Structure 1
């Protein structure tokens, strides 16, 4: 059973046949919301809205540990994250889909591991390749089957939020080698690795990053909403195809 974590613009899956909602507790507190179990294209899936169903939880306050633990307890076979991002490169215009293969973590103060000492031995994970390659390829195949195009590979910069970045910060991320910028990629990916859960992400570019091209003078939020609505319809079709491949 595949798990889908929805970010901004994807707080529910209208093309999912819901069977039940389950409120769960974990040793790390409560997840962002109830786990929604159901079927998509007759395949079992579980959905979790990362920011809550009213989009009320900011990126730095998401209980990432509870979310990942709850999905592990649900015995999912892997996790696909859907995230709205800003494009740092000129070719990553609003509406572009990317399946990143690397990540840089700029977040701070977040609970980023399940292993914090005490009676639990520390576990060091290999994070050379932060996304599961097999699940990435499956996601890319689904994007192609849906008649969409995605950029295969790229560096996701995970920033603290909830504010967007300054133009100078984006210039720094560019120098660091980042292609897209979002706020929720970490510690989510690392926590999944700690629990041996295959994890991949699809980044939906909803705006150029601060100081870049159409965002040179500032971010225009009404434009983001328009791109979100159109792009998430495409993503829902991709997820349907993902259940078939």
Structure 2
């Protein structure tokens, strides 16, 4: 068996944490390494447990999910944050994505959707709930459709451009590999180069850039 994905649960409601723990610990490749009831405790818990993925609530006392996400991403760049929220258009959730969260999912997501999102985020893929992807893109690109200045894709090779377009459509590394007839390791290398060359902090921001440029499939996600 491959190494298990270490998960930290962050929610101010104990029953929600218990429910998530029961769901995740039933999966052979997932391990819950700790829990936290607020953002301050989450930051401390990440330092102690070094989780691969943090399931982060956004509305909590003492320190909310935005501030906690920003601190965690800055101090522990290898730890990925998956934001969970009750509301489709939660202002905190938008802020958390801008703070560096690797994904956004509603709390009423189906069991397999949640598990799949954790696995995807741990691999470095972006996860945006299908029900809110359009709102996220619209909100973060409303100011202008195309960024000013030089073409941000000018430095990409033809293959890297193909990979960028696939990222913009919300495809995972595995799906890109299948579509472009490449190995996943090769795709991972291309993704890293694409993010660096386009100045995208992560896959979420690469998706946003693709939409700003009008190069993404509006039906994606």
| TM-score, normalised relative to structure 2 | 0.33
More contact order relative to length (CA 8 Å, sep ≥ 6): 1
Structure having the larger proportion of residues in strand: 1
Structure having the larger proportion of residues in helix: 2
| TM-score, normalised relative to structure 1 | 0.31
